[in-house]
Structure 1
Amino acid sequence: MGEFWPVPDALTYLAGHWRAERTVRDLASGDEGRFAGTVVSGPLECGGLLHRESGAFTGRGVTRPAGRTLRFLPGPGGTADVRFADGRRFHDLDLTAGRHVADHPCSADLYRDESTVRDAGHWRTVRRVRGPAKDLELTTGYARVD
């Protein structure tokens, strides 16, 4: 099947319940943290998906609740237009080849997301954040639970 698993429609693939495990590495300081939780991607009234992560983040010996909400809107040809919860554009997501790289400038920092799909129940994102304010690498593995 190859290294990547093609996804003809990102929204159909991402819908449902997922387990998420994320490692956050601060490349400047060497600090590392971990997020573990769940993701529910359910339908939006206007089309698309509401992607809600909830769980716990552990860093520097302290564990606290953590989460985020994104909107995945329909894009052309089975792609998704990824938005922040407030509607601001984040990046596009094209999984038709099973792999996609997208950039998002934020102030003076650049976020580069590489998303890869392994199979029907596993995908991953590696987010590299570089700039004067941040030097981070966030790796998130998703496993379908429904």
Structure 2
Amino acid sequence: MGEFWPVADVLAHLAGRWRVTREVRDLAGDDAGRFEGVTDFVPLPDGGLLHEESGTFTWQGVSRPATRTLRFLPGATPGTADVRFADGRPFHDLDLTTGHCLAGHPCAADFYRGEFTVRDADHWRTVWRVGGPAKDLVLTTDYVRET
């Protein structure tokens, strides 16, 4: 088996509950944080998935509840996804047919560069590198399917 695990249909693959661990590193200030929680990918009536993440984020010794909601809609090509923020604004495309995908997203003056890697049926990772005048971060998230 190679380094990447191909996914024929990203929406079918992601459906369900995943345990989430995210490391956040601030490269400018050398601070680090950690998020631990779950992500539920719940079917939407339009054939997409609602991504609901909840857990605890700890930054500089302070822990607090954290949530995030995204919409994973059917993409332009079969098996891919059009990822959008909860309010419908575009975020990025996601094509995991090779088990690996690069994505980008401009956010004000900053730029988010994402790398998605599927390791096997139950493990995948995202690494977002955020750079610009307001941010200099690396966010590494590991997902493990809950059974």
TM-score by length of 2: 0.98
- The equivalent residue for 1:36 is 36
**Any idea what SS the aligned residue of 2:78 has?**
helix
Q: Does 1:105 align with 2:95?
A: no
Counterparts of 1:1-146 in structure 2, within 5 Å, are 1-75=1-75, 76-146=77-147
Structure 1 residue ranges, 4+ long, deviating more than 6 angstroms after superposition: none
Shift of 1:36: 0.1
Gaps of 5+ in 1: none
**Any idea what SS the aligned residue of 2:11 has?**
helix
Gaps of 5+ in 2: none
TM-score by length of 1: 0.99
Percent of residue pairs identical: 69
Shift of 1:77: 2.1
What is the CA deviation profile of residues 34-91 of structure 1, one whole-angstrom value per residue up to 9, with x for unaligned ones?
A: 0000011010112200000000001111100001000000011210000000000000
